[in-house]
Amino acid sequence: MAIVLCPFVSRLVNTLIHMVEEEMDMVLGVPGEIQKLQRTLRKIQLVLHDAEQRRIEDEAIDEWLRELKDVMYDADDVLDECRNAAEKWTPRESPPMPSTSCRFPVFAWFREVKFTHEVGVKVKHLNRRLEEISVMRSKLDLKVSAERRMVSRVSRKTSHVVESDIVGVGVDEDARGLVELLTKEDVSANVVVLAIVGIGGIGKTTLAQKVFDDDKIKANFRTTMWVCVSQEFTETDLLRDIVTSAGGSHGGAQSRTLLEPMVEGLLKGNKFLLVLDDVWRAEIWDDLLRNPLRGGAAGCRVLVTTRNEGITKQMKAVHVHRVNLLPPEDCWSLLCRKATTNADEERDAQNLKDIGLKIVEKCQGLPLAIKTIGGVLCTKELSRTAWEEVLRSVAWSQTGLPEGVHGALYLSYADLPAHLKQCFLYCALFREDYAFVRAYIVQLWIAEGFVHAEGDLTLEATGEEYFRELVRRSLLQPDPHHLYVGWSCTMHDLLRSLGHFLTRDESLVVRDVQKGWANAAPIKLRRLSIVAPDSKEIERFVSSTKSQESTRTLLLEGARADGKDIDDYLRNLLRLRVLYLEKAKIQILPQHIGNLIHLRYLNLSHSDLKELPDSIRNLKNLQFLLLFGCRALKYIPKGIVKLRNLRTLNLRDAPVDSLPSGMGRLEHLNVLNGLVVNRVGGDTSNDSCSLEEVGSLHKLRDLSIYKLERAGIEAEPGRTASRLEGNQNLEYLDLHCSPRPTSDACTEEETERIEKVFDTALRPPSSVHTLRFQNFFGRRYPRWLAPTSIGTLLPNIRHLELHNCDRCPRLPPLGKLPGLDFLLIAGAPAVATIGLEFFGSEAQKSKRPSPVLFPKLTRLYLKRMPNLERWRWVAEDEGVAMPRLNKLVLADSPKLESLPEGLSRHATCLTTLHLKNVGALKSIRGFPSVRNLRVCGESGLEIVTDLPALEVLQLERWWHVLSLPEWLLGGLPCLTALQRLDIECSNQLLRRFLQKDAKDWSKIEHLPIVYIKDDRHNYVNYIKQSYNLETNLVDDDEDEDVAAEDND
C-alpha cells in the first residue's frame, strides 16, 4: 500500500486522455482499446476512495486493490516506454518532453513498427486484466464516493512556526525535578544514570528535551550530548553520534576499536550530560558505553528514555521518572493549541470545549495522539459539525493496527488527502530517527510521481508545501536545534510503524542483510530500503534481488560494493525509478545503468565514484542526479546534455574540471550545484559550458558556479546586462573562484577581468536570498554592492557569506540590506578598518528619523582578519545599527584593539559573545544583555566589567597562562550573575589551584561552578553548593594537601 491508488489512477487517466487525443490506438493498431482502457479506469476510479477506507478489515477488498495496483504499475511502465520512445524519435530540434508530459507525437510511431506492435499487445493485455478487475468490483459492494478536497485554515503564505508541545504545570514540575536530580552532587560514581520511562507517544522525548535545554543544565555541564538510539542502532553509529555530539570529528572511522578511544579522549576529565533517547536494549551500557565514559569528571550524568522499565534496572539507574498520561485539562490545552492557528481562533475554540474533551478522552492522555488529531482539526472548520464529525469517525476503532499504534494515529493518516498519504508513507522507508532534509525528500517525492504542480508553483515549491503540511499535522517533527526551524524533520517511531504496516504488501526496510530478510519480502516487492553501513554481505543482497524484478525504488546506504555487484543487481531491476547509493563504496558505475530507462532519481553522493559511463545519456527520464562529495570524480560525459528532463544536478565538492556545452538546453533545471565554466581562450572552449548558457536556465532556484577565474571571455566590451538577469526564480547563489597560494598570485589583467565578470556577468537577480562569495581576488567588491544600489538590487538577501576575499580593503555597505539575518566574513587580510562604509550610513541633513542599519541582523561572524585594527561605529545622527544582534563571533583578528562603543549601545539583544585569538583587545565592557562570554586562545584583556547578565564565562586554550589575569581576579565581584567559570589552562596553573595557600583559588571559590582542565585531561571540578572539589590530579607528595582541600 506504499502507493495510494486514487492519485495514481487519476494520473494514468489523464495520460490516457492525451493518448486518445493523439489517436494513439490507431497508431498502435488497436482501435478503441485506449478509449476502453480509459473508460474502465474511470469506473474503477469512482469506488477507489471507499475501497481504500475498507481494505484493512476486508480481505477481499484488500486483495482486489492489490491486483488493481499490479495492473496500474504495469500500465505506468508501458506508458513510460511510450514516452521514452516518442522522445527518442522526436526530431532533435523539437523541444524536450518532460517526464510528466503525456503528449505523444504521432509521426514518431511510424518509424518503429515492431515497437508499436509490442506496445499495442501490451495495451490489449492490460484491458483484459482490467476488465476482470472491474467485474470483481460489482461483487464487493463498493460504493461510489469521492475524496473531499480539504483546505487547511493555515495560509500557505504564512511561515509555520513550530511551537512548544509543553502544556500544564505537571510537565514543568517534572522537568524542574529532573534538573535538580541531574545537577545534584553524587560522589559515589563519576557517571550516574537516570531514566525517563513511559509508553510510546506519551512524551518522554519532549520531557527530556525540556530538561536538556534548561539553563541550569547548560550551566552545570561543560558538554551536553543528545543521541537517538532506537531499535535499529549499530555500535559504530552510536559511537560516531557521540563523538559528533561532543564536538569532535570521527574522521569517517568505521570500527569500534577506533571509535571507543575517540569517545574516551573527548570526555576524559569532562563533566558531561549524555541523553540516550529511545533505548531498547540495556547492553549498550555494559557492553559498549560504560568503559569509554567512565573517565568523565565527577558529576557526569546519563539520562535515558525508554519504554521498558527493565532496561533501567539493568543499567542501574539511580532514579526512574515514570511519565504519566496527561490529565484532561492539559489534554484540552494541547489539543486547542494544535487545532488553532492564532489567539482569536484559540479563544473561539473554547466554545467547542465539550466536544474537545470527548475527543481527548479518546486519545487516552497520549500527547502524540492529541497532537496528530489537533493537526486533523486544524484543517476543518472551527464548528461543532466539523469537530463532531472527527469525534464520530470510525477510524478511532480501527482494528488490526500494530502494537502501540493508537487509533488516533490511523485517523490522522486516513484524514490526509491522497497526495499527502503517499508522501507520508514514503518517509517510513528510511531508518528510525532519520533526519529528513526538506529539499531532499521533496526530490524523492517528485521522482516517485507524488507531486503535482498547482498553478504557477514549481514541482519543488509544491512539494515543499506538502512537507510543511505534514509538519503542521504533527506527522513529521521539526528538529528544534536546526539553524532554520522546519528545514529538517524526523518521524516518530509509532508513525513509522504505522507506515510500515500500511506498506507491508510492497515495501521492505532492512537493517541487517544477514538475517534472512528476503524471506520476509512481499511477493512483488516495489520498494526496498537497506541500511547496511559497511556490510560485506552485499552478494547475499544481489542474489536475493534477482527474483524482485518489480522493484521500483532501491535505497541502499553505505554498503561496500564493487562495480560487478552493482552491475549484477541492476541487470535485474529494470523498472527502477529511484536508485539511492549514497556513501556506497563504488568506484565505477557499469554501462548497464543506461538500460534503466524508467530511472528518475540517481544519488551517488559521498561515494568513491571515479567516473560516469557514457550510457548515462540513455536515462531520458532522469530528473535528479546527485554527485555531491564524490571527491574522485573529475569528468562528466557529454551525454549528460541529453538528459532533457533533469531538474537537479549536484556536483558540489566534486573536483570536476568542466561541464560540456549544451547545459543551457536543460531547461527544467531547478538546482545546478558545481557548474564549472569554460577556460579563457582555451582550445576546448567550444566544447565546455559557458556563463551564457546559464542565462537560459530560467527555472533555476539554486546555482553554484566554480572556477570563475576562467570566465574572462564573458566580459565583452559594452556588455552591461548580467548573465543571470533571466534567472528570476533564483534564490541561492554561490560564486567560487579557485583558491590561490597567495593573495598576489594573479596578474593585473586577471584582476581586472574578474572584477568585470562580477560587475556585469554575475549581478544576482533580486529574488536571491542566500549569497556566498568564495576566493574572490578582485581589489574591490562588485559594483552592485555599492551604497547607491545594494538595498534595491538585493532586497531579499537574508544570508550572506564572504569567504577569502583577500584583496578587498573595504567592506561593502551591507548595513543597507533590509532583510539580512546572517553575515559571515571569513578571510579578509586586506581590511585594516571596518569603517562607516560597512554600515552604509549617511549623515542626516534633514529632520527625518535616523535609519536603522542592519535592521534584522541576528548573527555576525568576523573571522581571519589578521590586519584588522579598528572597528568604527555610526554616530547617533547617522542611524541605529544591529538592534537585533544576538550572537557575535570575532576570531583570528590579533590586531583589533577595541570593540566599538556603539556596539554595546545599539546591540541591546546581544546574548552571546565569542572571541578567539584577538590578542590586542584590551577591554570588554558595557554589554547589558550578554549571558555567555567565551575567550579562546591568545588574549591581552585587561578589563572585563559591566556585564550584569553574564552567566557563563569560558576561557579556552589558555595553555600559555601561568596565573589568572588581574581582570579576572579583580573583576569577578562585579560579575554578579556569573554561575559557571570554565578554564582550559596549563598544567602548572592547574596544580596551583590545588596548593594549600593558592591565592588564585580564593578569588574564584565563591562561584557556584568552577571547572578547570589542562591539555593532559587533568581537571578540577568544584561545586560550591555541595562544597565539593574533585580532581584526578594527585601526586604522592600532594595527597595531604588535596585531602585537606576536599574537607574545607
Q: Poorest-confidence range of 196-205, 717-726, 975-984?
A: 717-726
DSSP-assigned beta bridge partners for residue 861: 824, 889
How many Å apart are CA 63 and CA 970, to the nearest integer? 81
Q: Poorest-confidence range of 140-144, 235-239, 510-514, 523-527?
A: 510-514
| Buried/exposed 936-953: b ≥16 CB within 10 Å, e otherwise | bbbbebeebebbebbbbb
Q: Poorest-confidence range of 167-176, 214-223, 291-300, 542-551?
A: 542-551
In the 8-state DSSP scheme, what is residue 455?
T
Predicted confidence at residue 139, as pLDDT, reads 83
Higher-confidence position of 599 and 152? 599
Radius of gyration of the chain (CA): 32
Condensed to tens digits (0 to 9), the pLDDT of residues 697-715 reads 999 999 999 999 988 644 4
Predicted confidence at residue 1046, as pLDDT, reads 40
Report the length, in residues, of the chain: 1048
Condensed to tens digits (0 to 9), the pLDDT of residues 27-44 reads 566 677 778 888 888 888
Express as a percent the part of the chain with pLDDT over 90.
Answer: 47
Output the average pLDDT for the chain: 84
Q: Poorest-confidence range of 82-86, 334-338, 462-466, 781-785?
A: 82-86
CB 630 within 8 A of CB 607: yes
pLDDT at 716 over 60: no
How many Å apart are CA 572 and CA 575, to the nearest integer? 9
DSSP-assigned beta bridge partners for residue 1029: 1022
Predicted confidence at residue 24, as pLDDT, reads 62
* pLDDT band, residue 1042 (cuts 50/70/90): very low
Predicted confidence at residue 1041, as pLDDT, reads 43
Predicted confidence at residue 962, as pLDDT, reads 80
Q: Poorest-confidence range of 222-226, 426-430, 1015-1019?
A: 1015-1019
Q: Poorest-confidence range of 245-259, 308-322, 835-849?
A: 835-849
Higher-confidence position of 943 and 962? 943
How many Å apart are CA 729 and CA 700, to the nearest integer? 6
Condensed to tens digits (0 to 9), the pLDDT of residues 479-502 reads 876 656 568 899 999 999 999 999
Reference 805, options 827, 836, 787, 822; nearest CA is 827
Give the sheet arrangement for strand 223-228, strand by strand: 223-228, 272-279, 300-306, 191-197, 319-322
* pLDDT band, residue 681 (cuts 50/70/90): low
481 in helix, strand or coil? coil
Predicted confidence at residue 319, as pLDDT, reads 93
Average pLDDT score over residue span 747-773: 92
pLDDT at 411 over 50: yes
**Cα–Cα–Cα angle for 905, 911, 915, rounded to 5 degrees:** 90
Predicted confidence at residue 46, as pLDDT, reads 84
Reference 761, options 810, 806, 807, 727; nearest CA is 727
Predicted confidence at residue 567, as pLDDT, reads 67
* pLDDT band, residue 1034 (cuts 50/70/90): low
CB 714 within 8 A of CB 692: yes
Q: Poorest-confidence range of 115-124, 308-317, 590-599, 882-891?
A: 115-124
861, 908, 910, 933, 955 from 914: Cα distances, Å: 9, 16, 11, 6, 10
* pLDDT band, residue 169 (cuts 50/70/90): low
Amino acid at 62: D
Predicted confidence at residue 233, as pLDDT, reads 79
CB neighbourhood size of 620 (10 A): 23
Burial of 779 (0-12, 13-18, 19+ CB in 10 A): middle
Reference 382, options 335, 421, 419; nearest CA is 335
Predicted confidence at residue 543, as pLDDT, reads 62
pLDDT at 561 over 70: no
Predicted confidence at residue 743, as pLDDT, reads 66
Condensed to tens digits (0 to 9), the pLDDT of residues 623-643 reads 999 999 999 999 999 999 999
Higher-confidence position of 713 and 194? 194
Distance of CA 718 to the CA centre of its chain: 44
Predicted confidence at residue 270, as pLDDT, reads 85
* pLDDT band, residue 178 (cuts 50/70/90): very high
Predicted confidence at residue 745, as pLDDT, reads 75
CB 798 within 8 A of CB 820: yes
Q: What are the helix (H) ranges across 523-636?
A: 538-545, 563-570
Predicted confidence at residue 959, as pLDDT, reads 85
Predicted confidence at residue 271, as pLDDT, reads 87
Express as a percent the part of the chain with pLDDT over 70.
Answer: 84
Distance of CA 1 to the CA centre of its chain: 27
Predicted confidence at residue 115, as pLDDT, reads 65
CB 835 within 8 A of CB 810: yes
How many Å apart are CA 361 and CA 541, to the nearest integer? 47
How many Å apart are CA 877 and CA 872, to the nearest integer? 15
